[in-house]
Amino acid sequence: MMLPLARVFLGILVGILGVSGMAAAAPQAAAPPELRAVRTAKPPVIDGRLSDECWTLATAASDFTQLDPEEGQPATEQTEIRFAFDDDALYVAVRMFDREPQRIVKRLSTRDSDADADRVTLFLDPMHDRLTGAVFRVSAANVQKDSILYNDSWQDTSWDAVWQSQVAIDDQGWTVEIRIPLSQLRFPGGEHPTWGVNVERFIQRKNEYSWLAMVPKNQTGIASRMLDLTGFDGLSPTRHLELLPYTAARQEFINPAAGSPFNDGSRAFGAAGLDLKWGVTSNLTVNATVNPDFGQVEVDPAVVNLTAFETFFPEKRAFFLEGAQIFNNFGQGGSNNFWGFNRSEPNIFYSRRIGRAPQIKPTADFVDAPTATTILGATKLTGKTSRGWSIGLLEAVTGREEARTRTGLVTSTAVAEPLTSYSVFRVQREFGRRIGLGFMTTGVNRVLDSDALRTALADNAYVFGTDAYLFLDRKRDWVITGRLAGSRISGSANVITTLQKASQRYYQRPDAPHVDLDSARTSLSGFNGSVNLNRQSGVWQVNAALWSVSPGFESNDLGFQNIADRAGMHAVSMWRWNKPNRYSRSRFLWVAKWYNWNFNRELQGDGYNAQTGITFRNYWFLNFNTGTQRKVLDDRLTRGGPSATNPGGVFWNINGGTDQRKWIWLNGFANHNWNSAGGWGNNGGLTVNLKPSPRLTLSTGPQWSRFRQVAQYVTTISDSTATSTQGSRYVFGTLDQTQLSMTTRVTAVLSPTISVQVFAQPLLAAGDYTHLKELARPRTFDFLDYQAAGLPFSRDPLSRKYTVDPDGDFNAAPTFTFDDPDFSLRSLRLNAVFRWELKPGSTLYGVWTRQQEDKTNPGPFALGRDARAMFGAPGDDVFLVKIAYWIGR
């Protein structure tokens, strides 16, 4: 099977390469201009008015070129930018001429959001490695946004620098002054340092993007296209020290379980701590924290997850967000796109594992367990050496946690989490701008000092890997990117047996000869690897990949992994045409072929996908996507049993939206899918976005789904008489599920430094199971429907349990029972955040979070009844006040 698949894959690549190669030639571009910063003895006053002496001495750069709406044409309005510096900071002045200054859009927004306003963005590459950098954006309302630039064109907006800006509007347009402390930048010393720089201006009413150094739409790269910024003679980087002490108070009002001896419904907590940032060298920074506050100010959304796999939630804690791009780019250097198609490569590092909820759940009448594991301390070392090595090192220690328990009249404690050390090390270097090489390893080490811990958790877990990329041409259009990682986890036989049986691998499958469940094993190891080919510039672009995750690979102790025992491949050819025509501004089309299989070489996925999209002249857009999947095997449907058949099917979806610059704009989607077994699904949503004033924005709208799953897993019953399914009965049901939600966000911005944000998510979901049945034969989609077959089958309404006699009057097979799987969820989550930036880097937060849900009386979806139950459900309220004060310069 592998050889024909490889021939298809290579055939697609050869055809694509042949077509694309003919369009690769391009004329040589003229040498870019050089910009120069001037040293100033007197720093400018940051007031937005360019009257300081240093600006008269600095030479202005002003040749901006449109990216949109008329790519390659001169900008319609003139822009001038100047640079100055001293031993403490870089200063930037931008004059943006506008012939209609009264039409400059000054809409307020929260910090780090994409302000719907006129704005200017400064891109800096102080290391001058043409790969990394820092981004600073200021809107006409003086709203700031900053981010880290990495992998040439990717941005990580989680970085928060401490810098100043001020704007002014006059009869010629608007101006901005920026002060960026050198302590916020990483740059090498030298006699004549050179930085990279680029500038983008956005004029909202014209939807005009113009650049100082053009970045064409069909090309890639930002850092590699920057102009040289010189004049920093005699500028030496200095070490810096920043302190961020904080104090926080939290009050909880929680509905306790009836009779709980541990919670009367009200609890208060207080905390104080310190974050430290120290510039060990000019390029390397240590972040450390003592008694850190890792409380997040935004709640995770409610989800209904009927799969065997964990739900992924993004990181929101500030300490782990800063510098995350160093750790998260493993295997992604060089390329700017990594397509999916059921691709299941694990994350090696998932920072939410640190400080997670305790993993051991004691059994008792009442349990009072911590909601999170205490992080005793954490340290990070990040930066780039003078020889070009990017380095990331993280070490965190979480404390031993215990839960209070009460059974009858006996109160006790039970261990819930051991003392644990988490380590991550990452290095990467680019050689000659054509080759990149990196290494990454993670380690988890636990102190297991009790039988309860030793039988529940692994004592050591390690992942180690290397990654590399290679540009195949001087223009850096074609790139190959790859990664290879190995894992090893050790622990008691009980722990390793649990891992073998886990949903990631299911070693107990009776028809999987390539894996073997060994209950005496005390370690587990495996590998993960991939190779990707990208042509990421030009009208025709290519993306292709081969990847695999061996059955024994395991990264969940400090990473995120839903599946192992998988390999796959895909090839995508995409056409993008960005030159406007009579009807549209841009169009695209891509087609793809993909496969997945397990390590027994059995196909688990075989499909085709295609998508096309258009952006109209009025900036409305519309996309249509469709695909088909052939009938294959499914080795996960029975959740540890024999493989079944996955029926072939077809899907389509359509999404679109209106011009986002208008005071009201809409975006929506509709999806439909069906398969040959009679399953189907429909879902859709519409979001209304309103901007009734320059200080207020609102987005809300319903999302609805309805689907029928012909075979939704319910349970497994061991039965030696079930010889046709190898000693177990795999029970399924036809699931009719309906879900309705309406996510709402309201943002009120009182000033560039004061805002209030409200998030609300009502969610109603119901699942009704009918046609309860069991798999009749392995490797089929045939089922024995209990009622249709006339077997003794009943439901007790009081206990909500089904009873089944699987062979009727023959009495050879034992009768069994299982819980009624019907469910209802009525959930309401509210989150209100008041944020006040007292001064750059210092912030006051006030947060109110409410969560309420009702799961009682499951039944078919009924909007009125379920909505009343949702609003009437008991809820938990948490109030938090936190202040963090930045000390530095």
DSSP 143-172: -EEEEEEETTTEEETT-----EEEEEEETT
Name 581's Cβ contacts closer than 8 Å, sequence gap at least 6: none
**pLDDT bucket at 14, cuts 50 / 70 / 90:** very low
pLDDT of 599 over the 90 cut: yes
Sign of dihedral through CA atoms 40, 42, 47, 53? negative
**pLDDT bucket at 2, cuts 50 / 70 / 90:** very low
490 backbone dihedrals φ, ψ, rounded to 5°: -130, 150
Residue 219, token pair as written in the block:
């090309």
Cα angle 285, 462, 307; round to 5: 105
Where is average pLDDT lowest: 379-393, 493-507, 721-735, 754-768? 379-393
637 backbone dihedrals φ, ψ, rounded to 5°: -60, -40
Residue 239, token pair as written in the block:
């070490």
Tens of pLDDT, residue by residue over 658-693, are: 999 999 999 999 999 999 999 999 999 999 999 999
Over residues 615-643, the mean pLDDT reads: 96
pLDDT of 5 over the 70 cut: no
pLDDT value, residue 292: 66
Containing 14, the helix (H) or strand (E) segment is helix 2-21
Total residues found in the chain within this entry? 889
Over residues 126-141, the mean pLDDT reads: 93
User: 3-class DSSP state for residue 213?
Assistant: coil
**pLDDT bucket at 13, cuts 50 / 70 / 90:** very low
Choose which CATH entry (3.40.30.10, 2.60.40.1190, 3.90.1300.10, 3.40.50.20) describes domain 2-24+33-230. 2.60.40.1190
**pLDDT bucket at 306, cuts 50 / 70 / 90:** low
pLDDT value, residue 215: 85
Name 211's Cβ contacts closer than 8 Å, sequence gap at least 6: 64, 65, 67, 198, 199, 200, 201
The one-character DSSP state at 368 is E
DSSP output for 537-580: SSSEEEEEEEEEE-TT---TTTSB-S--SEEEEEEEEEEEE-S-
User: 3-class DSSP state for residue 129?
Assistant: coil
What is the CB neighbour count within 10 angstroms for residue 686? Answer: 14
Where is average pLDDT lowest: 207-216, 293-302, 537-546, 555-564? 293-302
What is the CB neighbour count within 10 angstroms for residue 415? Answer: 19
Tens of pLDDT, residue by residue over 139-157, are: 999 999 999 998 888 888 8
Containing 867, the helix (H) or strand (E) segment is helix 863-872
**pLDDT bucket at 218, cuts 50 / 70 / 90:** confident
Token pair 């998932």 is found at 350
- Closest C-alpha among 798, 331, 765 to residue 534: 331
What is the CB neighbour count within 10 angstroms for residue 205? Answer: 12
pLDDT of 250 over the 90 cut: no
**pLDDT bucket at 21, cuts 50 / 70 / 90:** very low
pLDDT of 609 over the 60 cut: yes
pLDDT value, residue 323: 74
Q: Residue 36: beta bridge partners?
A: 230
Q: Residue 517 in contact with residue 561, Cβ under 8 Å?
A: no
- Closest C-alpha among 222, 231, 235 to residue 122: 222
End-to-end alpha-carbon separation of the chain, Å? Answer: 63
Residue 834, token pair as written in the block:
């008041």
**pLDDT bucket at 298, cuts 50 / 70 / 90:** low
pLDDT of 295 over the 70 cut: no
Q: Residue 156 in contact with residue 150, Cβ under 8 Å?
A: yes
Q: Residue 666: beta bridge partners?
A: 688
DSSP H helices, 731-847, are: none
DSSP output for 30-77: PPPPEEE-EE-SSPPP-SS---SHHHHHSPPB---EEEESSTTSBPSS
User: Distance between CA atoms of 21 and 23, rounded to whole angstroms?
Assistant: 5
DSSP output for 297-347: SSPPPP----SSSPPP-----HHHHTTHHHHHTTT-SS-S----SS--PPB
Say what percent of the chain tops pLDDT 90: 69
pLDDT value, residue 319: 77
pLDDT value, residue 632: 97
User: Distance between CA atoms of 7 and 10, rounded to whole angstroms?
Assistant: 5
pLDDT value, residue 877: 92
Q: Higher pLDDT residue, 647 or 261?
A: 647
Sign of dihedral through CA atoms 28, 30, 31, 36? negative
Cα angle 148, 149, 151; round to 5: 135
**pLDDT bucket at 301, cuts 50 / 70 / 90:** low
pLDDT of 132 over the 50 cut: yes
User: Distance between CA atoms of 800 and 174, rounded to whole angstroms?
Assistant: 69
pLDDT value, residue 394: 94
User: Distance between CA atoms of 490 and 510, rounded to whole angstroms?
Assistant: 25
pLDDT of 169 over the 70 cut: yes
- Closest C-alpha among 737, 717, 738 to residue 728: 717
pLDDT of 19 over the 50 cut: no
The average confidence (pLDDT) of the chain is 89
Task: Give the CA distances from residue 732 to residues 349, 717, 738, in Å, rounded to whole numbers and listed in that order.
Answer: 35, 11, 18
Over residues 129-138, the mean pLDDT reads: 93
pLDDT value, residue 261: 84
Tens of pLDDT, residue by residue over 71-129, are: 999 999 999 999 999 999 999 999 999 999 999 999 999 888 887 899 999 999 998 98
User: 3-class DSSP state for residue 809?
Assistant: helix
User: Distance between CA atoms of 499 and 510, rounded to whole angstroms?
Assistant: 17
Q: Residue 373 in contact with residue 399, Cβ under 8 Å?
A: yes
Token pair 């309401």 is found at 828
Most distant pair of Cα atoms in the chain: their distance: 100
650 backbone dihedrals φ, ψ, rounded to 5°: -135, 150
pLDDT value, residue 721: 92
pLDDT value, residue 455: 94
User: Distance between CA atoms of 145 and 823, rounded to whole angstroms?
Assistant: 44
- Closest C-alpha among 638, 767, 659, 761 to residue 705: 767
Q: Residue 778 in contact with residue 642, Cβ under 8 Å?
A: yes
pLDDT value, residue 303: 62
What is the CB neighbour count within 10 angstroms for residue 384? Answer: 22
